[in-house]
Chain A
Amino acid sequence: MLDGAEGPARQKAMDLLIRYGEALGAESFVDVANIAGVPGSSTLFLQNYYRKHGGGSFEDVFSRFDLDSDETVPFPQVGGNCCHLQGGMDPELWAEQGMSRKAFEHQQQDEAEVSRHGIQVLKTCTPYLAGNMPAFGEHCAWMESSAVVFCNSVVGGRTNTEGRESTSAAMLTGKIPDWGFHREEHRHGTHLIQVDVPVESVMDWGMLGYFIGDAVQENIPVIAGQIGQPDLIRHKHFGAAAASSGGVEMYHVVGITPEAPSLAAALGSKKPQATIHYGPAERRRVYESLNSNGRDANVDYVMLGCPHASIEQIGEAARLLAGKKIRNGSSLWMFTSRAVKSVADLNGYTKTIRDAGGLVMTDTCSAIGRMLPKGTKVVALDSAKQVHYLPAIMGIEAWFGSTEDCIQAALTGRWCGVLK
């Protein structure tokens, strides 16, 4: 491929992957056929920049940004099972999100290019809920830290946290550096987390994840102790939080996740580098840290669906909102994938939430799309990951609590969350 025999785009992609592999210290590549990225997407800034530096078309952006090429090359069909992760706006509710028609039309053009080149338009941070579920042991090249940690830990797929440029290059070459989580010896736990306080609720799993990410950074935690059986939602919130406060790309839960049938198996029969305890005091500190951006109890925005909501979560929100009205002047936006929203539509959840004054949106979230309901000063969130990012990105105050706390805040306009 590097000699250009398979075309200039694959040549540029291979050149980039070789530079990347050398930077890592990898010795070879592994074949990948399951690739999740954000190929060719561009903000107004990027389009304007490239218009002045070589051209602003999809192909220009893909060549110059995604492939880090100094020239534009024709973009061929991709190979393998490739999907596009989250995007910048809802395809129907973009005006409510404050987006211009121009930005929407540009987004539609990008999407048509993505589709035309053989990339599935999943438009979500949870591809595993929308049509791309890897198999155990399958080598993948995925972006999106919350999806990566899910792929490695819950499914036993094998991926590093790839970036936009490496996933786009992998879509053309079917190769990624054989490094890190592709290799058996790198998948064993390094730190033992002893949980000394009951962790059952989704909120508690999110807090535990946020604590562990901060405590172990990019290492691999093995969780044991007073934990209940996590379902998909709990894994989703836990992993997303751990990948935000630190760089956790894989975790083991003894007796629960597929590569941790026992503590010894999870640790690769080695001794943990450290044992870290999570008890009532740690739990209290995490809760306070997640609420350190909140001062004003008057909440004007509630954002749910980070990572993108499962159908069960939308059903729960619909039940909590059925027959009620969100306070005048407050907004509730719940984010999910198009695939899951189509089920929510069928089940009547979208209508129930809309009748209460909330909106179910797809493709994006407030942090990714940098969008808030007009005049938002204080937001309530049920996701530790979103608390980590949204106040920093948008300069607003944020409260963290359970989904119920958040929906209560939408109904009353007041934050009344407490750590139970």
Chain B
Amino acid sequence: MSTIAPAKIVLHGRKVVGGCAEGEALVTRETISGWGGIDPMTGTVIETHHELRGVSFKDKVLVFPGAKGSSGWSAAFHLARIANAAPKAMVFNVMTTKIALGAVVMRAPSVTDFDRDPLTVIETGDWVKVDGDLGIVEIIKKAI
């Protein structure tokens, strides 16, 4: 049986928060609420109609359009960091004050403003390396 090296894809964007981290991707096409939308103690999405309801982003690389909802976004994700339930890194499309402040206080390497839409490239389960300082995101597709 022959093995095929997994394809590596590289995306270029802008630094939001520096540092490097890697992990398994958790991808959603829906924006995420912080306060009232997640349980910071477990990193689980609790919003009633959300496609990730019941799913935890703890230690994942969270790939999503961006933040919505309460101004408690940063405090909720800050609390998740303290409870060791935060994502390892964040990759997102739409800049808002909520997500900028949240990424800063989460101290999670984060990148935005990409040359290609990460939501069309990254799927849940892919292995993703985020270099916040260089604004580079490397994706190794999961084996099919």
In the complex the two chains form, is A217's CB within 8 Å of B37's CB?
Answer: no
In this complex, which of B48, B49, B67, B79 has the most chain A Cβ atoms within 10 angstroms of its Cβ? B48
Name the residue on A nearest B14 (C-beta): A25
Of B1-9, B70-78, B117-125, the one contacting chain A is B70-78
Residue contact B74 to A218, C-beta cutoff 8 Å? no
A247 at the A/B interface (Cβ < 8 Å)?
A: yes
**B105: interface (CB < 8 Å):** yes
Contact: B105 with A160, CB < 8 Å?
Answer: no
- Chain B residues with Cβ under 8 A from A162's Cβ? 71, 97, 101
B96 touching A247, Cβ below 8 Å = yes
Pick the contact of A392 from B48, B82, B102 — CB < 8 Å? B48
A25 lies within 8 A of B95 (CB):
yes
Are B104 and A19 within 8 A (Cβ)?
yes
How many A residues, CB 8 Å from partner?
43
B residues in contact with A163, CB < 8 Å: 71-75, 97-98, 101-102, 105
Contact status B68-A165, CB under 8 Å: no
- A20 contacts B by Cβ under 8 Å: yes
Residues of chain A from 111 to 161 with CB closer than 8 A to chain B in the complex? 142-145, 148, 160-161
Query: Interface centre among A16, A20, A23, A38, by most B CB within 10 Å?
Result: A23
Separation of A162 and B72 alpha carbons in the complex (Å): 9
Question: Is B69 touching A165 in the complex (CB atoms < 8 A)?
Answer: no
- Chain A proximity of B122: nearest CB distance (Å): 20
- Say if the beta carbon of B130 comes within 8 Å of chain A: no
- CB-based contact B69/A247 at 8 Å: yes
Does residue A389 face the partner (Cβ distance < 8 Å to B)?
Answer: yes
Known: A23-B16, A247-B31. A46 touches B104 (CB 8 A): no
Map CB proximity to B onto A1-27 as digits: 1 under 8 Å, 0 otherwise.
Answer: 000000000000000100110111100
Interchain CB contact (< 8 A) of B100 among A24, A144, A243, A389: A24
Check A392/B46 contact, CB under 8 A, given A23-B104, A165-B78: yes
Closest to B66 in A: A218
Does A93 touch B at the CB level, under 8 Å?
no
Residues of A within 8 A of B70 (CB): 145, 244, 389
Q: Tell whether A55 is near chain B: CB-to-CB under 8 Å.
A: no
How many residue-residue contacts, CB under 8 A, span A and B? 113
Question: With contacts A46-B79, A162-B71, A180-B97 known, is A20 near B36, CB below 8 A?
Answer: no
Most buried by A among B15, B36, B71: B71
Q: What distance in Å separates the Cβ of B58 from its nearest Cβ neighbour in chain A?
A: 16
The answer to whether the Cβ of B103 comes within 8 Å of any Cβ in the partner chain is yes
Neighbouring A residues of B36 by C-beta, 8 Å: 367, 388-389, 392-393
Size range of the chain B interface in the assembly: 35 or more
CA distance A180 to B100 in the complex (A): 12
* A161, B46: Cβ atoms closer than 8 Å: no
Interface assignment of B10: CB less than 8 Å from any CB of chain A? no
CA distance A165 to B105 in the complex (A): 8
| Per-position 1/0 for A150-187, Cβ under 8 A of B | 00000000001111111000000000010110000000
Chain A residues within 8 Å of B31, by CB: 217-218, 246-247
Chain B contacts for A19, CB-based, 8 A: 17, 104
Say yes or no for B47: interface residue by CB 8 A criterion: yes
Asked whether B71 lies within 8 Å of A244 as measured between CB atoms, the reply is no
| Minimum distance in angstroms from B13 CB to a CB of chain A | 12
- In the bound assembly, the distance between CA atoms of A38 and B79 in angstroms comes to 15
B134 close to A (CB within 8 Å): no
Q: Mark B73-90, 1 if CB is under 8 A from A, else 0.
A: 111001100110000000
Report chain A residues within 8 Å CB of B55: none
Q: Among A22, A49, A161, point to the contact of B71 (Cβ < 8 A).
A: A161
**Given A143-B71, A392-B36, A392-B46: A24 and B66 within 8 A (CB)?**
no
Decide if A247 touches B105 in the complex (CB within 8 Å): no
A59 near B: Cβ within 8 Å?
no
The interface residues of chain B lying within 8 Å CB-to-CB of A391 are 48
Contacts of A243 in B (CB 8 A): 69
Given A23-B17, A393-B36; A244-B69 close (CB under 8 Å): yes
Asked if A72 is at the interface of the complex by the 8 Å CB criterion, the answer is: no
Q: How many angstroms between the C-alpha atoms of A243 and B98 in the bound complex?
A: 12
Q: Interface digits, A357-395 against B, CB 8 Å rule (1 contact, 0 not)?
A: 000000000010000000000000000000011011100
14 examples of A-B residue contacts, CB within 8 angstroms: A16-B105, A23-B103, A25-B95, A160-B97, A161-B96, A163-B73, A163-B98, A166-B101, A217-B31, A217-B68, A217-B94, A292-B48, A391-B48, A392-B37
Task: Give A residues with C-beta under 8 Å from B.
Answer: 16, 19-20, 22-25, 38, 45-46, 49, 65, 68, 142-145, 148, 160-166, 177, 179-180, 217-218, 243-244, 246-247, 289, 292-293, 367, 388-389, 391-393
**Cβ-closest 3 pairs across A and B:** A163-B74, A23-B100, A247-B68
